[in-house]
Amino acid sequence: FFASIDWRRLYCRQVSPPFKPFLDPSDETEFFDIEFTTKTPSDSPALPPSAAAHELFRGFSFVAPHMYEQQISDAEILTQPWLALRRHSSDDSLTNENNIAAVMGALMSTYKALESANSPSPLCPVNASALAQRRKKERGSSQSESSMSAIIA
């Protein structure tokens, strides 16, 4: 069935299609099967990731080398021209449409800079964080002090 097809010409879009439907309005559905056009559309939202979803990637340590090459430091972000210009402008500078466009461009520059400097966050159990350890230590010492005062009283 496919033996007569010149795949290279097809890939280069040099083959004209055997049937070109003529559509008047842009939302014409005449050439779609009625089985699909009579169905009621329904949204299928994605499920949120499970609590154990990070376990799927345990043991994977590959980081693309180009990610390190594209990292931008905090000092480099502070030297972005839009940020330097913003420091010298007044608070009422956003009343002009040109300034609004400049701010929009600045936001885009910020997001691009941050995306290129995307460094992975270390994942660890909540109880293993430095803050959790410090609070545990503080609570432990305050509980032992209160139990000692209860014994003395």
Distance CA 51, CA 63 (A): 23
Alpha-helical segments (H) within the chain: 7-11, 34-37, 65-69, 74-78, 81-87, 97-116, 130-152
pLDDT, tens digit, 9 for 90 and up, residues 130-149: 788 888 888 876 555 555 45
For the entire predicted model, the pTM comes to: 0.20
Q: Which residues of the chain have pLDDT under 50?
A: 148
* Alpha-carbon gap, residue 103 to 97, rounded angstroms: 10
Q: Which of left, alpha, beta for 13 (phi over 0: left; psi -120 to 50: alpha)?
A: left
pLDDT of the residue at 14:
92
CA proximity to 83, closest of 110, 60, 61, 64: 110
